[in-house]
Structure 1
Amino acid sequence: MKILKGLVIMVAVASLTSCKGQKADVKSLETEIDSASYALGMDMAIKVKANFDEASTDLFLQGYRNGMDSTNLLISEKDLNTFLRDFFQKQQVVKQKEAQEKAAKDAEAKFADVKKAGEDFLAVNKTKEGVVTTASGLQYIILKAGAGEKTMPTSKIKIHYHGTTIDGQVFDSSVDRKEPMESVANQFIPGFNEGLALMNSGAKYRFFIPQDLAYGVQQRGELIKPFSALIFEVELLEIIKE
């Protein structure tokens, strides 16, 4: 809404000037008020240009004049705030989406080798004995079958996990910390959530998670680069009853 306030001030200044008739541009600023007036107009123009470059100056001025005399309104006063709020919210969503798409495109170019390494690794890994591949692309091996009940998405669980990159670098490990983790079962990355849903209490699995089921375009710490495939060894110690 700061943008809107800026637009209103700029339009007001421009409209008042136009109502007095066209005057030649001032060549110098004689007083502090002159300088402040000029600086305010310049500042607002720069902000409008940066944030709303599709604006029509003519319609700005028409809207200001109509609002001042309350005649010939093309948008009713009762609808004005709602329209402007919704419009700028939509503009913000569009800009955020464009920024995200650009960031993803830039990251894909920069980390293309990381993405390819993960794809190549998984292509070979899925042919190994004992590896199961799900419809989503998650791969897993059952290291130890569990005899307990299966997890539900909302189950509270206690697990041990050991996470590595495909070249074996450890980025996180409750095993190394000797401290099991307690959490709700659906609070992890998609591939991890999917793998947990396959497990019975007491089971131990190894997950091979494609980048699109892991962190995707996001960088997570020093070791997990964008588009990284990840490996987790997970033991479901307990489904906690409350």
Structure 2
Amino acid sequence: MNKLVVGGLVVAALGFTTACQKKVKLDTDMKKASYAIGQQIGGNLKQQNIDFDADALAQALKDASAGKNEMSKEDMQAAMMKLQEMAMKKQQEAADTNAKAGKDFLEKNKSAANVKTTASGLQYIVEKEGTGASPKKEDVVKVHYKGTLTNGEQFDSSYDRGQPAEFPVGGVIPGWTEALQLMKVGGKSKLFIPPELAYGPSGRPGIPPNSVLVFEVELIDIVKQQAAAKKTK
């Protein structure tokens, strides 16, 4: 049977939807801890875009704690398989819709002011021309960045974390690998990355399948592999 791991808790995913049975007053440490566990479970399911019924989930937790089960192992396995089928269908529908929307966005965006398009389909705007060297694929770079979907919804930001990120130029999505080698240290660019140069039909948590990704990138420094290796020792 498929399982979801939430923090240290393993939850058997049965097939649930959205609501709560009744409002519980969080007036004891046990209730607060239980609520925290529930938040982890619900958040994990939402992040994985899994539809669930909160009433059924709450009842299952209550029954399990009492040693009861309304379903046989065979029925639970069948329910899980059905859930997986529905999730795959939902993901495919979303991927098809996003692919078309992304293609339309990029087609329109390529004629916007200052947008350059490479042979791969990567689009970018140079917002500030750097004066330093350009990184190579084998280099490690230090960057600040913010990533959003085309609707402006943010999914990641090193600025919010208050610390630049360091990673190999060749160890990220193809759109980043290409774009970084077009930049110079001290430069800033805005990237419009097609799904085939990003996460494609699989997507990621917070990134729907076949999404065009928009990044604001500031190339702070190039850290050669040898220097990066010394730092980690």
Range 103-112 or range 198-207, more displaced: 103-112
Shift of 1:108: 4.0
Shift of 1:148: 0.4
Equivalent in the alignment of 1:226: 209
Q: Tell me which protein shows more strand as a share of its residues.
A: 2
Query: Which amino acid counterpart does residue 98 of structure 2 have in structure 1?
Result: V
After TM superposition, the structure 1 = structure 2 runs for residues 50-69 of structure 1, keeping only pairs within 5 Å, are: none
Q: Distance in 2 between matches of 1:108 and 1:211?
A: 14
Is 1:139 matched up with 2:88? Answer: no
Selected match of 1:239 from 216, 222, 232: 222
Structure number with bigger Rg: 1
Selected match of 2:96 from 97, 102, 112: 112
Query: Which amino acid counterpart does residue 225 of structure 1 have in structure 2?
Result: P
Q: Tell me which protein shows more helix as a share of its residues.
A: 1
Which runs of 5 or more residues in structure 2 are unaligned?
1-86, 228-233
Equivalent in the alignment of 2:113: 129
Equivalent in the alignment of 2:144: 160
Which runs of 5 or more residues in structure 1 are unaligned?
1-102
Is 1:198 matched up with 2:182? Answer: yes
Is 1:185 matched up with 2:187? Answer: no
Q: Could you state the TM-score of these two structures normalised by the residue count of structure 1?
A: 0.54
Shift of 1:111: 2.6
Q: Could you state the TM-score of these two structures normalised by the residue count of structure 2?
A: 0.57
Query: Which amino acid counterpart does residue 228 of structure 1 have in structure 2?
Result: S
CA contact (8 A) 1:104 1:217 kept: no
Number of residues of Structure 1 aligned to a counterpart in Structure 2: 139
Shift of 1:185: 1.2
Secondary structure in 2 matching 1:193: helix
CA contact (8 A) 2:148 2:156 kept: yes
Shift of 1:231: 0.4
Would you identify which runs of 4 or more consecutive aligned residues in structure 1 move more than 2 Å? Answer: 103-111
Is 1:215 matched up with 2:199? Answer: yes
Q: RMSD of the TM alignment (CA)? A: 1.8
Give % identity.
Answer: 47
Selected match of 1:170 from 154, 159, 167: 154
Shift of 1:110: 4.1
Q: Distance in 2 between matches of 1:182 and 1:150?
A: 15
Shift of 1:226: 0.8
Query: Which amino acid counterpart does residue 177 of structure 2 have in structure 1?
Result: N
